[in-house]
Structure 1
Amino acid sequence: MRSVSNRTRIGVLAAFTAFSAVLSTGSAAAKTQLNGDWAPFDRCPVDAPAMLAADGIETIATCIASSSVTGSITLGKSQVPTGNSDLQLGVVQRSDGTNALVAPPGGALTADPAEIPGGLLGLMCPSGIPLVSAICRQLTDNNLNRVTATIEPAGAPRDFNMVAAFSTGEPILTIPVRIHLKNPFLGDKCYIGTTADPVLLKPQNLNAPSLSLQRFAADGTRDDEGEMGRYTFSGADQGDATFAVPGASGCGVAGLLDWAVNLKTGLPSASGKNSVKLDNTSTYFGSPYDPAGLAPNEGRKLSEFWHSAVR
Structure 2
Amino acid sequence: MNRFPLRARLATTVTALGTALGAFASMGTATAATAQLSGEWAPFTRCPVDAPLMLGADGLARTPQCVVSSSPNGSITLGNTTVVTGRTDLQLGIVQNSDGTSTVVAPPAGAIIADSASVPGGLLGLMCPSGIPAITAICEQLTNSTLNKITATVESVGTPSDFDQSAGVVTGLPIVALPVRIHLENPFLGANCYIGTRTDPIVLRPKNLTYPEFGLSFFKGDGTLADDGEMSRISLTGAAQNDSDFAVPGAAGCGLGVGLIDAAVNLKTGLPSAAGRNSLTLNDTRTYLTGLTAPGTVAPDAGKILARNWNSAVK
**Structure 2 length as normaliser, TM-score?**
0.91
Distance in 2, Cα, partners of 1:273 & 1:77: 9
CA contact (8 A) 1:91 1:99 kept: yes
2:76 is the alignment partner of 1:73 = yes
Distance in 1, Cα, partners of 2:21 & 2:311: 28
2:228 is the alignment partner of 1:235 = no
Amino acid corresponding to residue 34 of structure 2 in structure 1: K
CA contact (8 A) 1:2 1:292 kept: no
Distance in 2, Cα, partners of 1:261 & 1:252: 11
Distance in 2, Cα, partners of 1:53 & 1:191: 36
Name the CA shift for 1:39/1:104 in 2 (closer, same or farther; >3 Å): same
CA contact (8 A) 1:215 1:222 kept: yes
Distance in 2, Cα, partners of 1:61 & 1:173: 18
The structural deviation recorded for 1:49 is 2.4
The structural deviation recorded for 1:153 is 2.5
Distance in 2, Cα, partners of 1:273 & 1:100: 31
Distance in 2, Cα, partners of 1:143 & 1:160: 42
Match of 2:19 among 8, 17, 20: 17
Q: Deviations over 1:120-162 (max 9, x none)?
A: 1111122233222221121122111110111222334333333
> What is the percentage of aligned positions where both structures have the same residue?
55
CA contact (8 A) 2:24 2:206 kept: no
Match of 2:298 among 294, 300, 307: 294
Deviation larger for 113-122 or 155-164 = 155-164
CA contact (8 A) 2:212 2:236 kept: yes
Unaligned runs of 5+ in 2: none
2:38 is the alignment partner of 1:35 = yes
Distance in 1, Cα, partners of 2:176 & 2:55: 27
Amino acid corresponding to residue 256 of structure 1 in structure 2: L
Deviation larger for 48-57 or 165-174 = 48-57
CA contact (8 A) 2:105 2:159 kept: no
Match of 2:197 among 184, 194, 198: 194
Name the CA shift for 1:70/1:38 in 2 (closer, same or farther; >3 Å): same
Distance in 2, Cα, partners of 1:144 & 1:21: 32
Matches within 5 A, 1:151-300: 151-254=154-257, 255-300=259-304
- Secondary structure of the 1:40 match is coil
Name the CA shift for 1:157/1:104 in 2 (closer, same or farther; >3 Å): closer
Distance in 2, Cα, partners of 1:56 & 1:155: 26
Match of 2:131 in 1: 128
- Secondary structure of the 1:92 match is strand
Distance in 1, Cα, partners of 2:15 & 2:93: 11
Deviation larger for 172-181 or 70-79 = 172-181
Distance in 1, Cα, partners of 2:224 & 2:101: 31
The structural deviation recorded for 1:57 is 1.9
Deviation larger for 94-103 or 276-285 = 94-103
Match of 2:117 among 95, 114, 131: 114
